Amino acid sequence: MREFILAMRAIWANWHQGEPLQFTGKFYRHTLMTPFFTPTNTEHGAPRVFLAAVGPLMTEVAGEVADGIIVHAFTTDKYLRETTLPALERGFAKARAKGEDKSRANFEISYPCFVVTGGDERQLEAAARATCQQIAFYGSTPAYKPVLESIGAGALQPELNAMSKQGRWAEMGTLIDDGMMRQFAVVAEPGNIAAAIKARFGDVVDRTSAAYAQLPKADRVRIVRELTAA
């Protein structure tokens, strides 16, 4: 992935800065660019690169060669702060060692957090149940076990994995209790959602998104505006 991003940047440097295309790596080789493939609408410059990552190695790659990271919704506050952020810093350090101006100040963290809310108790319960099932689904993935381990729930991963192979999807959600759900999700009434997200992640996250399917459009727009202002 690191080399893939560097290869893309070499192509973009040829398009936007007119640099010779001479990229030869272990996995990719780009040395020819024809006028037929060269875009003419280059006034906006090369696009930014955001890399989705969960594990520390891919996160470190994001810090080194990407412009931002898309953190998986399946994360916890503890994992974000104790695993993701340090890995990014290691990536920034690698970039700086090559003479690049890379730091948290010019890097964007996007985190589409789980949100549990609703206009009444019935909607709130439905949102909580759906979120627990989604957490269980992600938790069944072996590669995501370290996220569960961050809250002392690593032993749950093999059980969820076994249930997924048996097709017991709905039942899996019942293993995620309220306390565990709140480790992953922001739970609040609609009027307090924006403040709750800001209080929990405002010092770490630059961009967020969430589905408020059970809320009227006016409430969704208000939440977005409050987060934008924050």
What is the residue range of 163's domain? Answer: 114-229
> How far out from the chain centre does Cα 28 lie?
26
| CA distances, 114 to each of 18, 45, 77, 211 (Å) | 43, 34, 12, 8
80 and 104 housed in the same domain = yes
Q: Cα–Cα distance between 197 and 205 in angstroms, integer?
A: 10
Give the pLDDT confidence score for residue 220 in this predicted structure.
Answer: 86
183 and 205 housed in the same domain = yes
Tell me if 47 sits within 8 A of 76, measured CB to CB: no
106 and 74 housed in the same domain = yes
Contacts for 57 with CB less than 8 Å, ≥ 6 apart? 87
173 and 222 housed in the same domain = yes
Give the pLDDT confidence score for residue 212 in this predicted structure.
Answer: 62
70 and 119 housed in the same domain = no
27 and 38 housed in the same domain = yes
Q: Cα–Cα distance between 50 and 111 in angstroms, integer?
A: 12
The count of domains in the chain is 2
Q: Which of 127, 110, 111, 113 is nearest to 189 (CA)?
A: 127
75 and 119 housed in the same domain = no
Of the residues 65, 81, 111, the one at which a domain ends:
111
Q: Say if pTM beats, i.e. exceeds, 0.95.
A: no
Tell me if 79 sits within 8 A of 88, measured CB to CB: no
Residue 121, exposed/middle/buried by CB under 10 A (0-12, 13-18, 19+)?
A: exposed
65 and 99 housed in the same domain = yes
Give the pLDDT confidence score for residue 154 in this predicted structure.
Answer: 97
Give the pLDDT confidence score for residue 213 in this predicted structure.
Answer: 63
212: three-class secondary structure by DSSP = coil
166 and 68 housed in the same domain = no
Dihedrals φ, ψ of 52, to 5°?
-80, 135
103 and 120 housed in the same domain = no
Give the pLDDT confidence score for residue 211 in this predicted structure.
Answer: 67
62 and 98 housed in the same domain = yes
71 and 170 housed in the same domain = no
- State the 10-residue block means of pLDDT for the chain, 230 residues long: 98 95 97 93 94 98 98 96 98 97 96 92 92 96 96 97 96 96 94 93 91 78 88
Of the residues 65, 85, 111, the one at which a domain ends:
111
Q: Cα–Cα distance between 228 and 106 in angstroms, integer?
A: 19
Of the residues 88, 111, 134, the one at which a domain ends:
111
